[in-house]
Amino acid sequence: MKRISYLITLIILLSTVFACQEEIVSTTQINVLIDVTDKRFEDKSFVSENLPKFLQIMNLNKETGGYSGGEIKLSLINEVSDSKSKTVKIGSAKTGLMGENKLNRKDEVDRFYGNLENTFTQILSTANWGTNESKIYQKVTRELLKMKKSNYDKKKMIIFSDMLENSNLFSFYGVNWKAGIQKMIENPESTLETLSEKGPVLPDLSEFTIYIITTRTAENDEKINLSEQLWMTLFEYQGATVYFNSSLEI
């Protein structure tokens, strides 16, 4: 009996140790879109400031590692509805006493960060900054539709843009732009129906979190206010959780 009691105690102790060592592992898909009409996003500090935040969203850290996985995709918003993109991936790892060595995993995360840094720097340094036309709705919707097909646990889209659409779908510029935008805000169902006749259909977004990061100035403040109302109305109408800020807040 003492031997059985000892074995039971040992099993409970080992189970407790394993439980303490386990880290909740998840997979995250992050799609980063950068609007080339705004040259402020060309700033060289952009990469160093934001990459650690992207990793934080994935439950990873360059200094300490982490066992979760996923992918980060970067593409640009410009005058065409689709553009070249780059995707960097890292697999999730097994945790616990029988899992991957913590130091080895930290090295993997460090390499992942380095690949991200090189990829972002390369794309941003070769972008055609300062173009006048921006097909935001079509680009964003196309990317969301692609993400819908994936099996990641969490789906996040991060958009660096003033979200001031300037295309044949609608525009924040020209004659009577304000009245047109306000009408779109008032009836999101009708707005989405009209947009779907000319471009891709915005899907159900109940599994998505969308971060919109913009830059306000005295000159664009009124337009940004309406931009925030419009995009939050459309995305939330489709079920997304939306954050509209001047910086990426996690």
What pLDDT is stored for residue 144 in this prediction? Answer: 97
Candidate from 30-34, 145-149, 158-162, 213-217 with smallest mean pLDDT = 213-217
Q: HSE-up of 118 (CA within 13 Å, CB side)?
A: 7
Residues of the chain above pLDDT 90, percent: 64
Residue 7 pLDDT class (50, 70, 90 cuts)? low
* Phi, psi (rounded to 5 degrees) for 87: -125, 135
Question: Which string of DSSP letters, residue by residue, matches 197-210?
Answer: HHSPPP---TTEEE
Give the closest residue to 245 by CA, choosing from 208, 210, 209, 213.
Answer: 213
Kindly state the average pLDDT of the residues 33-60. Answer: 87
Query: Average pLDDT over the chain, rounded to whole?
Result: 88
Q: Quick check: 33 pLDDT over 90?
A: yes
Supply the pTM of this predicted model: 0.88
Candidate from 8-17, 60-69, 137-146 with smallest mean pLDDT = 8-17
The class level of CATH for 27-245 reads: alpha beta
Give the closest residue to 33 by CA, choosing from 134, 111, 149, 152.
Answer: 134
Residue 185 pLDDT class (50, 70, 90 cuts)? very high
Kindly state the average pLDDT of the residues 105-116. Answer: 96
Candidate from 41-45, 61-65, 135-139, 222-226 with smallest mean pLDDT = 41-45
Residue with tokens 């044949």: 168
Domain boundaries, the chain: 27-245
Kindly state the average pLDDT of the residues 202-206. Answer: 97
Asked if 162 and 222 count as a contact pair (C-beta separation under 8 A), the reply is no
What pLDDT is stored for residue 20 in this prediction? Answer: 38
Residue 17 pLDDT class (50, 70, 90 cuts)? very low
Asked if 54 and 32 count as a contact pair (C-beta separation under 8 A), the reply is yes
Question: Which string of DSSP letters, residue by residue, matches 207-238?
Answer: TEEEEEE----TTTHHHHHHHHHHHHHHHHHT
